[in-house]
Amino acid sequence: MVYIQSALLYTNQAGRRRVRVTTLALRTSTTAADIFRAADFGAVTAFMTRQAVADLQQDDYCEEGTIQRARSRVINRCVNILANYRMNTSAAKSPPGQLILPESLQLLPLFCMSLRKSPILRPSLARSKSSDYPSPLADERAYRLLYGGAVSPAMALLCVHPNLYKLNNMTPEEGEWFTPKLQERSQFPPGSREAVAFCKPYIHIPSSIQPSIACIDDDGIYILDDGFTLHLYVGQTVDDQARSDLLTKSEGSMAFDGITTETDLGRRVWNIIRQLRVCDRMSCGGSNLSVLSSRPTHAPVVIITAKKGGMGIASGGMEDMILPLLADDPTMHDKGYVDFLCALHGKIKEAVSKD
């Protein structure tokens, strides 16, 4: 066992001096397989995000540029982790042409690709061919760097790889309150944090889908959650009845700027928004336990409606606000996920062959 101990000297509200001692006990192992088996994905991704932020804040001269250096280091760290897994565990017996990932780090390549595409590490370019404004702006990058430097394990993936929820054709349970049955609570140790959280009623949310333009239909209604903002997108061919059942207009306003709570659809969408705001991790089906939010800020709702007869998501503000958040799609500087995996696999094989 390895023990890490810290002491905090402070003054309480009564003016008395106190010392708070915290001790953390960690198990040790002599085999790499045990290390990978016990790896915590949230802790790894949070640490890598903070490393990337620290890389950007280095003031030493870099010929390739600070952002490009930080982007390269993300890939190098991912390659080192997965190459070591390949060489020092039972994965060494697998065929060289097969990409083998640790069970606990299955989403590590997805995270690294998304981190490079996020406002933290994405190179600033014009938002569109007709725009002279870069994306991200300097203040947008600074905002993400501020929170990225202290990101929690629960939010590390969401802050770079948004969740996309389709609100069309929801099941009767989705968007409604649900109270766990007594027998369902017995799967957790009595008194544990999970057991306490699981006892509380929560709202079913739809299954998340890939944040890709291929998954967004013109007749769809979606919520795109990037950890900071909840974007409600209404497609250009959504019928007028569905729009009026979901959205409202302020007095004197020509555009939809609110969500109604007087219809079944509007009420259920508001329920889903409420659940997303108070939860930081959920299963794909939204039926997992609720955990107190680790979001850096209160997530506002931004309503985006595509104009009928327009060019859908690629027109006007749609391109500026939504397209940069679709992390699974290729960009000017980064490949799509499948191509990224192929390139990453090649780097891993190269690293293994050198050793």
Residue 65 has a pLDDT of 82
C-beta neighbour count of 135 within 10 angstroms: 19
Crossing angle of helices 41-56 and 108-117, in 10° steps, is 30
Residues written for the chain: 355
Distance (Å, whole) CA 334 – CA 329: 9
Q: What is the pLDDT of residue 318?
A: 57
* d(C-alpha 354, C-alpha 80), whole Å: 12
Phi-psi region of 52 (alpha: psi -120 to 50; beta: other; left: phi over 0): alpha
The pLDDT assigned to 286 comes to: 38
- Position 180 scores a pLDDT of 72
Distance CA(91)–CA(101), nearest Å, equals 9
What would the two tokens of residue 304 be? Answer: 């985006």
Note whether 272 and 203 are within 8 A (CB).
yes
Which helix H or strand E contains 149, and what residues bound it? Answer: none
Q: For residue 244, give the H/E element and its range.
A: helix 240-246
| CA 245 to chain centroid | 30
Note the pLDDT of residue 153: 92
Give residue 192's pLDDT. 67
What is the pLDDT, as a whole number, of residue 198? 65
b/e sequence 300-339, b meaning 16+ C-beta within 10 Å: ebebbbbeeeeebbeeeebbebbbbbbbbbebeebeebee
- 3-state secondary structure string across 63-86: CCCHHHHHHHHHHHHHHHHHHHHH
From the list 107, 95, 100, 103, the residue with the least C-alpha distance to 84 is 100
What does each C-alpha distance from 89 to 98, 249, 305, 353 come to in angstroms?
15, 60, 51, 16
Q: Write down the pLDDT at residue 339.
A: 94
Report the alpha-carbon angle 146-22-157, nearest 5.
35
Give me the sheet containing 163-166, strands edge to edge: 208-209, 163-166, 221-225, 230-234, 301-305
The 3-state DSSP composition of the chain as helix, strand, coil percent (nearest 5) reads 40, 15, 45
Q: Are strands 301-305 and 230-234 parallel, antiparallel or unpaired?
A: parallel
pLDDT by residue for the chain (355 residues), tens only, comes to: 999 999 999 999 999 999 999 999 998 999 999 999 999 999 999 999 999 999 999 877 777 788 999 999 999 999 999 999 999 999 888 888 899 999 999 999 999 999 999 999 998 875 555 556 777 889 999 999 999 999 999 899 999 999 999 998 899 999 888 877 665 556 667 666 666 666 678 888 999 999 999 999 999 999 999 999 999 999 889 988 988 889 888 766 666 778 888 899 999 999 999 999 887 444 333 334 344 457 888 899 999 888 765 545 554 455 577 888 999 999 888 889 999 999 999 999 999 988 7
Quote the CA–CA distance of 301 and 193 in Å, as a whole number.
Answer: 29
What the chain holds in terms of domains, given with CATH numbers, is 2-154+336-354 (1.20.120.730), 163-325 (3.40.20.10)
User: 161: number of CA atoms within 13 Å, CB side?
Assistant: 22
CB 283 within 8 A of CB 194: no
Amino acid at 163: N
**pLDDT score at 317:** 55
